[in-house]
Amino acid sequence: MDTKGIAAVAKTIRSLSIDAIQKAKSGHPGLPLGCAELAAVLYGEVLKHNPANSKWADRDRFVLSAGHGSMLLYSILYLSGYKVSLEDIKNFRQIGSLCPGHPEYGCTDGVENTSGPLGQGIAIAVGMAMAETIQAQKYNTKNHKIVDHYTYALCGEGCLEEGVSSEASSFAGHNKLGKLIVFYDQNKISIDGSTDITFTEDIGKRYEAYGWQVLKGDMYNVKGLLKLIEKAKKCTDKPSLIMLRSVIGKFAPKEGTASVHGEPLGDEDVAATKKNLGINPSEFFYVDPDSLRYFNDKKEIFAKFESDWNKDFEKWKKENPELAKSWKASYEGIPDGQSEEKSYKAGDNVATRTASGDMISALGLKYSYLVGGSADLKGSNKSGMKCDGGTYSPENRSGRSIEYGIREFGMASEALGMCVHGGIRPFVATYLVFSDYMRPSIRLAAIMKQPVIYILTHDSIFVGEDGATHQPIEHLAALRAIPNVQVLRPGDAEETVAAWNMAMQSNDHPVILALTRQNVPVYEKEDSHWKENIKKGAYVVKGLNEQPDFTIVATGSEVNMALEACKMVEGKKVRVVSMVDKKLFEEQDEDLKNKILGGAKRVFVVEAGCSCGWEEIATSKKELFTIDRFGESGPAKEVAKSLGFTAENLAKLISE
């Protein structure tokens, strides 16, 4: 081991970090100063990676869960040879920079995930480690081990205080993810001061209780770090937490204090820190020549990691053509199998959650890399795959149904980790009302442009007896408000089939399927091209070939309500539009939107949720037939009657 080179790398990380943060007048110097040795050891001595190709499939993954320490990551990416330049670092936190304030997937070469919201990085790392086990079981053969990599993560106290890390860590321990290694930067400082003011539990015992191997050491003992990592790698049936005693803002005058965590050091302290590091205070963005030499000497080793794998991969492809076909399909997002979708006819009475369950089994045959599960609601939200090979577990890595337990936030973030890992298309399922628990992860998936699929059933007051706590009101509007999230609310079983196919075709955004608990009739569709037109967000169900007096725009189960109301309205031509995707419809050109709405004088909107967001579709507030209050406990039809949300009242509104 080249200890001189590692020391030079650590010094350079500290130098670049404090100068970039000072120049930007914004940032978090504490973590880069405190964890520089770990980054140097990981990227120089531990990771199986090739900076010349950051997307090599069998690379080790590194997740910076404590994303505020982004300059640590940018510095080591630059030094080790990723496509991050010194000029990029000098433009830290500036518009258009490849070094934004927190790491962003797809922006900076070598960044494996978007991080910043604390705790989610750990959960994403859990998902990545799970994806590795699934792929290894599926693709590795007796002669070739083409999937064999580790997932590493760096977290701080803040990550471990957030609840999502507890959910994910419990799940990881239960599932014995032995190739997951998390480093805990144990500096005992948070923004408001010492963590002792709020955080005094025994973290080691907590993680042992989760089923993890817990190791302890010193952040600045380089040889000790390597020994700890080797010990962690030898434990194959437990994830490992390596607790590293550290000093936040090491070498800065205010090291070990809260003030060094989240603000620039200031010119005087930058100079003093450089002096402590043995750097000329007047030299900015100093790069130790030995740090460049160190990584230059590593280039051939890094390249050999990938070239050796490529040779083995080519042999594996020749020996296993069917597996190779599946591998290619999984990374391209195309089918690698065949199946028949269940067909429905007008008059069938089917809950859209049930139709979704049928589609999951059909798509499981069509896409062998489709993997998913539920937060302890598989039977209720019909999210089990009949072709799944069983439930995923330490004993059955082939299982494609995942039991997440009652951990909605952890589940969503773990699915995001599987998705960004590559080669897996994940879906997760719970009730729509519990999307509140998942929202931060859904938002992160949208930022990262990852096509995770969320099955959200029990989508309205028609949940019934469970009452206001379980009857979603504002949730559809809240989810539609997240940029780059597609919300699909099909009206019947046929539309559910189409919605699932739309979801599977996504490659750059997450998709939500909002589905009914109750049975809804399959309705006649006057538009013979509805399967194509639904991809524009909306289509005409009734009243296609006549100029309407009124148009009713409805979503989900309320399409049937609209059709019922039409029968009660005499002497008027009423058009009914099923708007499966409101945002997609609004993106269409004005001519198409007017064609679908029919140029009616009055356009009504019917949705069993709040009115927020529908104002631009309805001609006025008077035409909003929505619910802007919480629900009640009782049988579904009685709840609707109590709230005045019935076809009869809709008909009265139209007739006014």
The H or E element spanning position 174 is helix 163-174
Active site (annotated) includes residue 408 = yes
Question: Do 153 and 182 touch, CB atoms closer than 8 A?
Answer: yes
Backbone angles phi and psi of 506, in degrees to 5: -70, 140
Tokens 């450089």 sit on residue: 274
What is the spatial distance between Cα 92 and Cα 217, in angstroms, rounded to a whole number?
A: 32
Question: Cα separations (Å) of 180 from 39, 183, 232?
Answer: 17, 10, 9
Question: Do 573 and 543 touch, CB atoms closer than 8 A?
Answer: yes
Q: Could you give the count of Cα atoms lying within 13 Å of 554 in the half-sphere of its Cβ?
A: 27
Question: Do 36 and 13 touch, CB atoms closer than 8 A?
Answer: yes
CA 594 to chain centroid:
36
What is the spatial distance between Cα 211 and Cα 396, in angstroms, rounded to a whole number?
A: 18
What is the spatial distance between Cα 123 and Cα 89, in angstroms, rounded to a whole number?
A: 28
Q: What is the 3-state secondary structure (H, E, C) of 509-539?
A: CCEEEECCCCEEECCCCCCCCHHHHHHHCEE
Q: E-assigned strands of 257-358?
A: 349-351
Question: Cα separations (Å) of 7 from 14, 40, 80, 573, 602?
Answer: 11, 8, 14, 79, 72
The 8-class DSSP code of residue 45 comes to I
Annotated catalytic residue, options 255, 403, 408, 414: 408
Token pair in block for residue 131? 């994806």
Residues marked active site are found at 408
